[in-house]
């Protein structure tokens, strides 16, 4: 998970929304717009998104997910009407992966008809996202939705074993390369942090970018806090 800078509603979605009594329908222009603003990574687990991938039925493997569910349980007619309108609200939509990791489900597949209130569009709030050395994602206020483990999956199951292992391996690969190349220096870490934290020339982010960026910033802070050795001029 990371902060998403929400873009403008696609014209095709606006036209659909303005039809009286219309209900949500997946629009390809929306899928493309969401992918671009998210840097082509899943809004929840940060897996890479492939808009061309199709399942055995020919349907896109990416999912247009609604943060506030279109079909909440036990909703009365008033809430049903509110959710019909929210179902076509672009700011209620994000793009996710297929939600499959081995035998576990996560992201939109795990969410089902529940509401996700993690403030993905609030930069300050998303700065509180952290990661453990094992690769688990943490947030002080929304851990119940994020999930703790396969045994306590929450509404998104972002700490299922397969995702945790992938994040840890991703960071270890980056750290090992830095060590082997002798680049464990503040200047190198600053450059690499920019690479992992920003979109490339194709407007894409790297898979698991938020996890790697988090640890790079931690290492950079450690280096900067270390006392500087005296130079020869100081001796």
- Show the low-confidence residues of the chain (pLDDT under 70): 228-235
Percentage of residues in the chain with pLDDT exceeding 70? 97
Q: Between helices 161-180 and 209-225, what is the axis angle to 10°?
A: 50
**Cβ pair 97, 47 in contact under 8 A:** yes
76-88 pLDDT, tens digit per residue, is 999 999 999 999 9
Going by C-beta distance under 8 Å and a sequence separation of 6 or more, which residues neighbour residue 134? 164, 168
What pLDDT score was predicted for residue 235? 52
**Cβ pair 30, 13 in contact under 8 A:** yes
pTM (whole model) above 0.85: yes
């Amino acid at each position: 998970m990371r902060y998403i800078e929400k873009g403008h509603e696609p014209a095709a979605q606006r036209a659909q929304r303005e039809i009286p009594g219309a209900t949500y329908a997946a629009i390809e222009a929306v899928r493309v717009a969401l992918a671009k603003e998210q840097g082509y990574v899943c809004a929840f687990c940060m897996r890479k998104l492939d808009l061309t991938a199709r399942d055995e039925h020919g349907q896109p493997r990416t999912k247009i997910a609604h943060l506030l569910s279109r079909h909440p349980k036990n909703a009365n007619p008033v809430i049903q009407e509110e959710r019909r309108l929210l179902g076509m609200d672009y700011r209620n939509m994000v793009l996710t992966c297929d939600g499959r990791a081995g035998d576990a489900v996560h992201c939109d597949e795990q969410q089902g008809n529940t509401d996700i209130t993690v403030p993905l569009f609030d930069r300050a709030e998303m700065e509180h996202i952290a990661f453990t050395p094992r690769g688990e994602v943490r947030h002080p206020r929304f851990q119940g939705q994020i999930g703790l483990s396969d045994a306590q999956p929450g509404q998104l199951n972002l700490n299922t074993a397969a995702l945790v292992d992938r994040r840890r391996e991703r960071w270890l690969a980056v750290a090992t390369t830095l060590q082997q190349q002798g680049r464990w220096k503040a200047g190198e870490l600053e450059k690499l942090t920019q690479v992992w934290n920003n979109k490339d020339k194709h407007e894409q982010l790297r898979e698991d970018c938020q996890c790697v960026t988090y640890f790079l910033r931690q290492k950079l802070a450690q280096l900067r806090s270390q006392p500087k050795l005296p130079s020869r001029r100081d001796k």
